[in-house]
Amino acid sequence: MNELKLKYGCNPNQNPARIYMKNRQLPIDVLNGNPGYINLLDAFNSWQLVKELKEATGLPAAASFKHVSPAGAAIAVPMSDTLKKIYFVDDLELSPLATAYARARGADRMSSYGDFIALSDTCDEQTARLIAREVSDGIIAPGYTGKALEILKGKRQGSYNIIQMDINYEPDSVETKEVFGITFEQGRNDINISEDLLKERPTSNQEIPADAQRDLLISLITLKYTQSNSVCYVKDGQAIGIGAGQQSRIHCTRLAGNKADIWFLRQNPKVLNLPFKNDIRRADRDNTIDIYISEDHMDVLADGTWEKLFTEKPEALNREEKKEWLGKITDVSLGSDAFFPFGDNIDRAWKSGVRYIAQPGGSIRDDNVIATCDKYNIAMAFTRVRLFHH
C-alpha cells in the first residue's frame, strides 16, 4: 500500500485528503479504525520520539501527543506509590511499557485527554488495559500481542485507531512539504542526541550526575519533536512540564514551569486526600484538581458545588502552603530548543526545582545566563545544537 485516503484534512472542509509515497510502500499497517490527518501527524512525530528515547536510554518509552506536540513523554523508570495514585494506576499491575505510558500521560493528564499514543515496544496486555480506560484517539507501536489487540479494538465502540509501524523503515535524507502551493525542501533533522552534547559546561558547577544527564537527553529528544519555541522540564525519566509553540522563550519557560508546579502540587497530601465521591470520573477529577490547585479558581469549594464532587468539604490549599510545598522540589533537568536570551529564564526555572540545564548557547548574553546559573549553583551544558521543529 503506497496510499491511504483520509476522511478529511486538518478540518472537515479540507478535502480531498490522503497520505502517500511515490516510490515506496507506506511503512504502516492500519489494524483498526480510520485515522485522520492530525492523527497521522501525531503518530509519525511521536513514533520518532519514542524510538529515539529507547535508543538513547535502552528502556521502553512512551509518548502522549496532542496537536503535533507531546503532552508527555517518559521511559520505564519505576514509580513511587504517590505517583501511581496521582496517575490513577495504583489499582493496576504495570509492565515496564505500561509504566512508561502511565508516566507519559500522568505528567499532564488534562492535556493528554484524547491523545495519540506512541510506544517504543510491542504493546502488551497490561499497557492495553491501561489505555482501554483512558480517553484516547489512537496508538502507534511496532506490534501488539493478540490480547492487547483484542482489548484495544474494543475502544470507542470498535473504531479506535490502531497503527502498526515498520521498525525497519528509514525515511529519505531529504524531506519536503508544501505551504500555500510552494514546496519547501530540507535535509531531515537526523542529528543524534547523546551525552556527547553535554560535555561543554560553562558554569562554575560542572557536576551533572548520570540520572540528570539521562533526563537532559529525554528533554532534548522530546524538544526535537515539539513545536517551537519549546522548553521541557524532566525529572526521574519523565517530562513533567512542556511549553510548546510560544513566540517568546520566557513564556515557554513559564508555561512549562507552571505545568511542572501543578505536577508537583498534585502530590501534596491535601490533593492526594481530596474526598471525591466514588462515581466521579478520572477526567472530572483531573479538572477538579486543576481548579482546586489554582489560586484564582476555588469555585469547587463554593457552597452548593463541593457537595456534587466530594463526600465532605475539603480544606483549601492556600498560597503559603503551595509555596512551602513547591520549595521541596529539586534536581529537575531542563532543556531548551534554542538559546536562552536572558537570565530571567533561569530565574523562573529555579523556582520549579531546576538544577541542570542543556541549551544550545550562542546568545550575545550568554555571560548573563551563565552568571544567573552560577547564582543558583545550577550546572548548565551548551549543546551547540538548535532543535527547532515546525
Cβ pair 72, 239 in contact under 8 A: yes
Task: Tell me whether residue 353 is in a domain.
Answer: yes
Catalytic pick among 45, 54, 66, 84: 66
State which of 279, 296, 316 marks the end of a domain: 316
Q: What is the pLDDT of residues 303-321, one digit of tens each?
A: 778 889 999 999 889 899 9
Catalytic pick among 67, 85, 147, 270: 67
Band (63; pLDDT cuts 50, 70, 90) = very high
In this structure, the answer to whether residues 233 and 151 fall within a common structural domain is: no
Task: Tell me whether residue 388 is in a domain.
Answer: no
The CATH number assigned to the domain holding 225 equals: 3.40.140.20
In this structure, the answer to whether residues 91 and 185 fall within a common structural domain is: no
Task: Tell me whether residue 366 is in a domain.
Answer: yes
To the query of whether residue 297 is one of the catalytic residues in this protein, the response is no
In this structure, the answer to whether residues 11 and 46 fall within a common structural domain is: yes
Q: What is the DSSP string of 117-142?
A: EEESS-B-HHHHHHHHTS-EEEEEES
To the query of whether residue 66 is one of the catalytic residues in this protein, the response is yes
Is the model's pLDDT at 298 over the cut of 80? no
Residues pairing with 69 in the sheet: 66
β-strand pairing of 115-119 with 174-179: unpaired
CA distances (Å), origin 157, targets 22, 154, 162: 34, 6, 13
To the query of whether residue 323 is one of the catalytic residues in this protein, the response is no
| CA proximity to 332, closest of 370, 288, 376, 290 | 376
Is the model's pLDDT at 297 over the cut of 80? no
Cβ pair 119, 99 in contact under 8 A: no
Number of Cβ within a 10 Å radius of residue 263: 24
What pLDDT is recorded for position 292?
A: 92
Lowest model confidence (mean pLDDT) among 228-232, 291-295, 319-323: 291-295
Four-CA torsion 352, 358, 361, 367, nearest 10 degrees: 50
| CA proximity to 105, closest of 96, 94, 116 | 116
Which structural domain, as residue segments, surrounds residue 204?
A: 175-265+326-382
Catalytic pick among 32, 39, 229, 268: 229
Cell triple for 242: 512542556
SS3 per-residue string spanning 314-378: CCCCCHHHHHHHHCCCCCEEEEECCCCCCCHHHHHHHHCCEEEEEECCCCCCHHHHHHHHHHHCC
To the query of whether residue 67 is one of the catalytic residues in this protein, the response is yes
Phi, psi dihedrals of residue 274, rounded to the nearest 5° = -55, 130
3-class DSSP assignment, residue 71: strand
Band (296; pLDDT cuts 50, 70, 90) = low
Q: What is the pLDDT averaged over residues 244-255? A: 95
3-class DSSP assignment, residue 213: helix
What pLDDT is recorded for position 303?
A: 76
Task: Tell me whether residue 390 is in a domain.
Answer: no
Cβ pair 211, 234 in contact under 8 A: no
